[in-house]
Structure 1
Amino acid sequence: MDFEYWWLLAFPFFFLLGWVAARIDIRHVISQSRQLPESYFKGLNFLLNQQPDKAIEAFTEAARADSETVELHFTLGGLFRRRGEVERAIQLHQGLVERPDLGQEQRLAAQLELGQDFLKAGLLDRAEQLFNTLLPTRYAEAARRALMEIYVQEKDWDKAIAMARALAETSAAAFVVEISQFHCEKAAAMAVEGRFEAARTELERALEVNRRNVRATLLAGDFAVAEKRPEEAIVAWKRVEAQNPDYLPLVADKLLACYRDLKRIQDAALLLKGWLANYPSVDLFGAAFQAVLEAEGSEAAYRLGREELRRNPTLLGLEKLLEAQLYEAAPDARQDLETIRNLVHQHARRLAFFQCDGCGFKARQFFWRCPACGGWETMPPRRLEERQAQAPYA
């Protein structure tokens, strides 16, 4: 193929066309930005500086100046909802939905935002109705997630399971944890009514969905205890070690109580010491210490506490060690030890929390579902003290 010299003229020509197109785009952007109110840019600046109150004032002023800026209304409504001013968010999004000049796509987006407002306000019936209308649209996945949350709040576990399965079919997530936990919720509700056979069926379904669902195993043991079958409960709770040993602290005190009722405290001490050796944990140590104290006496409990404190230094370990010393201390030294133990106990309570990995929510009680962010199994069953791996007085 011969080279034609006139081709050299084409390169500057195409470069000139690109330069002209870029200039046109820049002029368009500048003209568009000039049309926006100055308060709009003030609002953006306040948002970047994490000043939501001033941002809302600026955006409100901008929305008044230019009622055609739909995206600005969406931004303002979202800010209202996040700040808890749900009534203002509802009014704003309701106004958008009712606007006759709004395009179909923007109307659907406004309906989704309005549904979120209703959900935040606790108007579950209105939210459910609105989200159901969005199921045939491109917002179906967001609507299903919201509907699942509504059914969880209403404790309608059958609908929650159905919605989670529908989500699993249309999204990348499998929702295995959620579906399995919903079956556990059904089982717990049935047990309260004394329907243990039906409850056990739900636990079997929970484990079919997620074999590693420790909660189902814990509930199986709880149901056995409620029906006066402690041996069966012990067998169930021992299975937690194979499922996930991190959850052993949740069953340690339950096991100790069952062994105590069966007059088998020595077996409890042996089992819990073995678990503690393999899976060090603050709460597991507390149960093992109590078992050894009852089975073998204060001297053996003191040795266990001293060894565990050296291996895994924690404030709870120090507290238990001081408790063991109290049993052997002379009367004149006992008061001083009691004072020291009380001081350690007060300091230890500051770290005696469980913490959600999803949102950072802290609680003294363990939750399968975080009360703050609503995540399932986002709260590890270990105390903040050992998770932070701090020295006792750090």
Structure 2
Amino acid sequence: MEFDLYWLLLAAPVVFLLGWVASRLDLRQLKREDQASPQAYFKGLNLLLNEQQDKAIDAFIEAVQHDPGTTDLHFALGNLFRRRGEYERAIRIHQHLLSRGDLKREERERAQHALAHDFMKAGLFDRAEEAFKALEGTAFSTDARLALLSLYERSRNWHPAIEVARQLEATGTGSFSQRSAHHWCEVAQEADARGRADEADQALARAREAAPQAARPLVLQGQRLVRQGKHAEALQVWDELMFKQPQAFALIAMDYARSARACDAVPTALNKLQSVYAQAPTMDVLNAIGELQPDATDRREAIMRHLRQQPSLSAAQSLIRERLVSHVPLEEPEVEVLQKALTSAAKPLQRYRCAACGFESQHYFWQCPGCQNWDTYPPRRLEDQ
């Protein structure tokens, strides 16, 4: 018994010494690994700040190889691939992260969010929709709904867009009433194109319910009534537009004048047009007034007043046209040449310009084709601004 205790006491220091040496070796190895990974990581960041993306990607790949368990490196690399348009590589990285069983819940949600944006950028809308829906109830749910709303608008899938907008508004993200009104207007136009008048009526009613002050539902409703030959009812709808949105009324001012002539309501319509012109003087409204104004002298005086206030080429063109009709003391060939020149010069100014991205068009858009934003087109042509 004494012999066994003697050897036990002798072996204890040896075991302790061996354990201490092994721990020191493990610490040195761990330090070397920790030093290698941050060096490659900071090298990648430095290259990225210097806008050397190719070299930055190589540095991040090296860092990932040194420490494959670091999720931040994977996210940085995936975002770089997405920014460069290498969506397949970004998708593979984020899918690899999601396949790991040791990933924390927060990091898994982050990887799912990044993967959804990869699909969106790659144009894989079906897969992007599924990926964004998988984020419901997570910290990324609001961002996912906003992305889904944009996705549905781009794919012209209006009913899901309406539902997502309702959810966003219900969660206090902001007001989406104007946007929802545009969605319902798109539904109405599609229903009209398919000959489903009842569906179009219901959609326009929902649009007006969503945003009572919105201009587009009133514009579309009046235009639908005109196509049905109900000019008096169209005037009533557009009278509401005239009251609520006098700036946007210019979009249908000439239609208003023609409907007034069609239902023998010229004097009343002329007074209303003149009232709108006093609030928002544009050539569209002035031309509508000229359509109903029987006296040529009054028409010329109105154009002259507009020219003094807003010397636009369109007004000059209208004046020349009036003088031609009134047989002014100018030779007709000279006036015709001048009118053609003015018409050519006026075309670049007879456009609408998006206030968000600057996209210009002779046609008015409720949703800008350039930046996809709603209501960014002021309802005034460039020459009236």
Normalising by the residue count of structure 2, what TM-score does the alignment of the two structures yield? Answer: 0.79
Distance 2:37 2:283 in 1: 61
Aligned to 2:259: 258
- TM-superposed deviation, 1:143: 1.1
- State how 1:273-352 maps to structure 2 within 5 Å: 273-292=274-293, 295-297=294-296, 299-329=297-327, 333-352=331-350
CA change 1:103–1:360 in 2 (3 A) is farther
Aligned to 2:371: 373
Decide which of 59, 62, 66 is 1:65's aligned counterpart.
62
Distance 1:104 1:263 in 2: 70
CA change 1:71–1:327 in 2 (3 A) is same
Q: 2:91, 2:119 within 8 Å by CA — same for their partners in 1?
A: no
Q: 1:56, 1:79 within 8 Å by CA — same for their partners in 2?
A: no
- TM-superposed deviation, 1:115: 1.9
Decide which of 47, 53, 68 is 1:56's aligned counterpart.
53
CA change 1:109–1:372 in 2 (3 A) is farther
CA change 1:34–1:60 in 2 (3 A) is closer
CA change 1:332–1:381 in 2 (3 A) is closer
CA change 1:170–1:95 in 2 (3 A) is same
Aligned to 1:238: 239
Distance 2:209 2:56 in 1: 51
CA change 1:168–1:256 in 2 (3 A) is same
Distance 1:212 1:79 in 2: 40
| Count of residue pairs the alignment pairs up | 341
CA change 1:124–1:285 in 2 (3 A) is same
CA change 1:140–1:39 in 2 (3 A) is closer
- Match for 2:61: what amino acid? R
Distance 1:346 1:58 in 2: 52
CA change 1:273–1:64 in 2 (3 A) is same
Residue deviations 1:273-300 (CA, integer Å, cap 9, x gap): 33222321232223333443xx333x33
Compare CA radii of gyration and give the structure with the larger one.
Answer: 2
Distance 1:374 1:128 in 2: 19
Decide which of 82, 91, 94 is 1:93's aligned counterpart.
91
Runs of at least 5 residues in structure 2 that lack an aligned partner in the other structure: 1-34, 65-69
What SS does the aligned partner of 1:70 have?
A: helix
Distance 1:59 1:255 in 2: 62
What SS does the aligned partner of 1:239 have?
A: helix
- TM-superposed deviation, 1:191: 2.2
- TM-superposed deviation, 1:363: 1.8
Distance 2:359 2:328 in 1: 44
Distance 1:278 1:362 in 2: 25
Distance 1:98 1:190 in 2: 44
Distance 2:154 2:178 in 1: 17
- State how 1:110-259 maps to structure 2 within 5 Å: 110-259=111-260
Distance 1:167 1:196 in 2: 30
- TM-superposed deviation, 1:323: 2.0
CA RMSD, Structure 1 to Structure 2 (Å):
2.6
What SS does the aligned partner of 2:190 have?
A: helix
Q: 2:349, 2:383 within 8 Å by CA — same for their partners in 1?
A: yes
- Match for 1:320: what amino acid? S
- Match for 1:64: what amino acid? I
What SS does the aligned partner of 1:309 have?
A: helix
- TM-superposed deviation, 1:126: 1.1
The worse-fitting range, judged by mean Cα deviation, of 238-247 and 180-189 is 180-189
What SS does the aligned partner of 1:179 have?
A: helix
Decide which of 45, 48, 54 is 2:50's aligned counterpart.
45
- TM-superposed deviation, 1:41: 1.9
Q: 1:207, 1:213 within 8 Å by CA — same for their partners in 2?
A: yes
- TM-superposed deviation, 1:212: 0.4
- TM-superposed deviation, 1:159: 1.7
Distance 2:163 2:82 in 1: 29
CA change 1:65–1:31 in 2 (3 A) is closer
Q: 1:282, 1:383 within 8 Å by CA — same for their partners in 2?
A: no
Distance 2:78 2:353 in 1: 33
Aligned to 2:81: 77
Q: 2:78, 2:93 within 8 Å by CA — same for their partners in 1?
A: no
Q: 1:74, 1:110 within 8 Å by CA — same for their partners in 2?
A: no
- Match for 2:223: what amino acid? D
The worse-fitting range, judged by mean Cα deviation, of 194-203 and 125-134 is 194-203
Runs of at least 5 residues in structure 1 that lack an aligned partner in the other structure: 1-29, 47-54, 388-394
Distance 1:32 1:329 in 2: 87
Residue deviations 1:50-81 (CA, integer Å, cap 9, x gap): xxxxx43343333333235234324413422x
